[in-house]
Amino acid sequence: DFDSPSVSTLSVYNHNEEALGQETVKTDYARGLKRKSLHENSFSPMQRFFKRHLSVTLLCDQSWCEMKTVYSLLKPHLKRKDLQCTEVQRGKEIHLLRELEIQDTVPIDIRTREDAEAIKLLNMLHMIPLLEAGERVREFPVFGVQEGVFVMGVIDELMYNQKGELVVNELKTRKCNSMPSSAQDKVNCFQVGLYKLLFDGLVRGEVKKDHVLNHLKLRSAQVLGARVQAHAKSIGVQVTTFEELLDALLITVSCSDLPCVDMLQLEYYHQGSSGPIGNRVAPFDEAQLRAELQGYLAYWTGQREPKGVDIEEAWKCRSCLYEQTCDWRKNRSQVSDQQAAHASSCS
Ligand code: SF4
C-alpha cells in the first residue's frame, strides 16, 4: 500500500539532478577526448575522464572487466543503449517499488552541485535516527576516501536481524529464475563489502569535511537553495550553507549509536515471477577486499594500463557490447593463434 507506507521515512528525489549529471558527463567526455589526444600519457584516468569520485557501481563493473568499463566511458552511447534494455528497466522498477514500500519521495528543485549533494546528506540525516531506533531504511548514501580516491555508493537496505545485528541487504533482480554464476556472485560480494567499508568509515568518524570538499570540489560557503533549506528545516536541521550541513551530518553520524555493519546479505529476486530466488550471506575478508580495491584504483590513479579478462574468463566477451572492437580481445586472439601455429610447426 504505497499511499500508507508502514514506516514514514522521507526520501528526497531531485528531478533536476539527472539532467545536471548528464550534462556534466557529456561535456566532460568531449573535453576528455580532446585532452586525451593531446596529452594521452600525462593524465591519470581520473583526470582524463574528469572524475572527482568513483561510484561503487563503476568499481563493480570494473571487477567484471576493466576494459569494458573503460570502453563504457569512451563509447557512452553503447552503454546507454544497454541501460535501456528491458531487464535493466525492470530491475529499476522493482527497486523503486521496494523503496516506496517504506519511504515517500519528495521532489525538490536544485540550482547548484552543492544542492545536489545536500539532498544526499539530508536523506542520511533523516534516516540515521530511524536506524538508531531499530527501523529498516532503504537507499542510504555512503562515501569515503579509499586509497586516496573518493568513493560513493547507495546501500539498498540496512536493517537489523533477529540477533540484533546490523545487516546490509542488497537486492539483485534476475531475468533467470536461478542463483547467479560464481563470477557474478563474486562481483556482488565485492559490492556489499565496499558498502561495509564505506559505512563503517562514516560511523567511526574517518570521513572528514575536507575529504568531501576537496575531492568533490564543492564550495563550503555556498548558500543552499531556498527549497533545500526549507526541506532541511522540515526535518529539524537549521542550516544555510553547504559547510554547515556537512558538519551537521558528519557529527551526527560519527556520534550516533549506529554500529558497524555485522552482516552482508544478497537477496536474489526473479523479474518474471516477481518472486524470491534465494538469499546468500556474503563473506567479508577486509584484507582481501582492500587488496582487490587497491588493484582497481591503481588503474584510475594512473599506475598501470587497463586490462581485459583473462583467457579463463573469455566467455565474458561473448555477451560484451564491445566484443567486435575490443583491442584486448583482438590481441589475445592473435597471441592464441600464434601459439597454436607455433605448436603445430613444432609437432
Ligand atoms: Fe572485456 Fe572481453 Fe568485452 Fe573486451 S570483449 S571489454 S576483454 S569482456
In this predicted structure, the answer to whether residue 13 has a pLDDT above a threshold of 50 is no
Which of the listed residues 71, 315, 322, 327 should we mutate to test ligand 1's pocket, taking the one with most ligand atoms within 8 A of CB?
322
Question: What ipTM was estimated for this complex?
Answer: 0.99
In a domain, 56, yes or no: yes
Does the beta carbon of 137 sit less than 6 angstroms from any atom of ligand 1? no
What pLDDT, on the 0 to 100 scale, is given for residue 81? 63
In this predicted structure, the answer to whether residue 339 has a pLDDT above a threshold of 90 is no
What pLDDT, on the 0 to 100 scale, is given for residue 8? 29
| Of the ranges 96-100, 102-106, 267-271, the best mean pLDDT one | 267-271
| Domain count within the chain | 1
**Percentage of residues in the chain with pLDDT exceeding 70?**
82
- C-alpha torsion sign, points 42, 48, 54, 60: negative
Cα 309 to averaged position of ligand 1 atoms, centre (Å): 6
In a domain, 184, yes or no: yes
- pLDDT tens digits, 171-199: 998 888 999 999 999 999 999 999 999 99
In a domain, 127, yes or no: yes
What pLDDT, on the 0 to 100 scale, is given for residue 234? 94
Cα 331 to averaged position of ligand 1 atoms, centre (Å): 11
Cα 64 to averaged position of ligand 1 atoms, centre (Å): 9
What pLDDT, on the 0 to 100 scale, is given for residue 71? 94
Does the beta carbon of 70 sit less than 6 angstroms from any atom of ligand 1? no
Does the beta carbon of 316 sit less than 6 angstroms from any atom of ligand 1? yes
Does the beta carbon of 322 sit less than 6 angstroms from any atom of ligand 1? yes
Does the beta carbon of 166 sit less than 6 angstroms from any atom of ligand 1? no
- pLDDT tens digits, 101-145: 877 788 899 999 999 999 999 999 999 999 999 999 999 999 999
Strands 149-160 and 166-174: antiparallel
What pLDDT, on the 0 to 100 scale, is given for residue 3? 30
Cα 312 to averaged position of ligand 1 atoms, centre (Å): 13
In a domain, 321, yes or no: no
Ranges of beta strands (E only) in 179-286 are 263-270, 275-282
In a domain, 249, yes or no: yes
Cell of 102: 517504506
Ranges of beta strands (E only) in 56-148 are 103-107, 137-146
In a domain, 332, yes or no: no
Strands 263-270 and 166-174: parallel
What pLDDT, on the 0 to 100 scale, is given for residue 144? 98
What's at 33, amino acid-wise? Answer: L
In a domain, 296, yes or no: no
Q: Pick the residue with more confidence: 251 or 28?
A: 251
Cα 123 to averaged position of ligand 1 atoms, centre (Å): 37
**Residues listed for the chain:** 347
Does the beta carbon of 73 sit less than 6 angstroms from any atom of ligand 1? no
**Residue-averaged pLDDT of the chain:** 86
Torsion of CA 326, 329, 335, 338, to 10 degrees: -90
Does the beta carbon of 320 sit less than 6 angstroms from any atom of ligand 1? yes
In a domain, 345, yes or no: no
Does the beta carbon of 71 sit less than 6 angstroms from any atom of ligand 1? yes
Q: Are 170 and 265 in contact (CB under 8 A)?
A: yes
Does the beta carbon of 323 sit less than 6 angstroms from any atom of ligand 1? yes
Q: Pick the residue with more confidence: 32 or 157?
A: 157
Domain range holding 217?
9-15+52-64+77-284
In this predicted structure, the answer to whether residue 7 has a pLDDT above a threshold of 50 is no
What pLDDT, on the 0 to 100 scale, is given for residue 100? 79
In this predicted structure, the answer to whether residue 9 has a pLDDT above a threshold of 80 is no
Nearest-atom number in ligand 1 for the CA of 317 is: 2
What pLDDT, on the 0 to 100 scale, is given for residue 102? 75
Bridge partners of residue 12, in order along the sequence? 106
In this predicted structure, the answer to whether residue 170 has a pLDDT above a threshold of 90 is yes
- List the one residue out of 248, 247, 226, 227 whose CA is nearest residue 236: 248
Cell of 187: 562481483
In this predicted structure, the answer to whether residue 4 has a pLDDT above a threshold of 80 is no
The CA-based diameter of the chain, rounded to the nearest angstrom, is 80
Cα 310 to averaged position of ligand 1 atoms, centre (Å): 10
- pLDDT tens digits, 272-287: 888 889 999 999 999 9
Cα 324 to averaged position of ligand 1 atoms, centre (Å): 9
For the chain, helix, strand, coil in percent to 5 are 55, 20, 30
**Closest CA to ligand 1's atom 7:** 308
In this predicted structure, the answer to whether residue 11 has a pLDDT above a threshold of 70 is no
Q: Is 6 helix (H, G, I), strand (E, B) or coil?
A: coil
